């Protein structure tokens, strides 16, 4: 059975190298460390150098946050997610406790 990758609808973490105009431009991110919905792909860009591909809209390749109701076998089942800043890193703002 094929599943669709959840898309990143918005990212408000301006200092991430993959963020251009509040959109994520990496192929896929990994969310979580088992208990916290951090974007493990977050890449701080001190000089605002940008990476990724301008014609790509990022998706969620894997979710390691077991506590999220959208986590189905370590895949994200949300229709789309939003990413935002939290304590010096990026978090999945769509996280919802089971």
- For every residue of 60-78, DSSP letters joined together read EEEE--TTBTTEETTEE-S
Give the total residue count for the chain.
98
Q: Report if residue 2 sits inside a domain.
A: no
Q: What pLDDT, in 10s, does the model give residues 18-37?
A: 999 999 999 999 999 877 89
Which structural domain, as residue segments, surrounds residue 49?
A: 7-92
What does the pLDDT read at residue 1? 56
Structure tokens at 1: 């059975």
Question: Is the pLDDT score of 3 beyond 80?
Answer: no
Residue given tokens 């809209």 in the structure block: 57
Of 63, 91, 89, which Cα lies nearest the Cα of 76? 63
Q: Report if residue 78 sits inside a domain.
A: yes
Whole-model pTM: value is 0.92
Return phi, psi of residue 2, to 5°.
-85, 140
Q: Report if residue 1 sits inside a domain.
A: no
């Amino acid at each position: 059975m094929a599943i669709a990758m959840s898309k990143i609808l918005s990212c408000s973490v301006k200092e991430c190298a993959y963020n251009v105009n509040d959109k994520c431009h990496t192929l896929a991110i990994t969310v979580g460390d088992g208990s916290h919905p951090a974007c493990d792909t977050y890449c701080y860009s001190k000089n605002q150098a940008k990476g990724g591909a301008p014609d790509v809209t990022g998706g969620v390749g894997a979710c390691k946050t077991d506590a999220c109701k959208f986590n189905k076998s370590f895949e994200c089942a949300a229709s789309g997610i939003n990413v935002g800043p939290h304590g010096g890193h990026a978090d999945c703002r769509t996280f919802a406790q089971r």
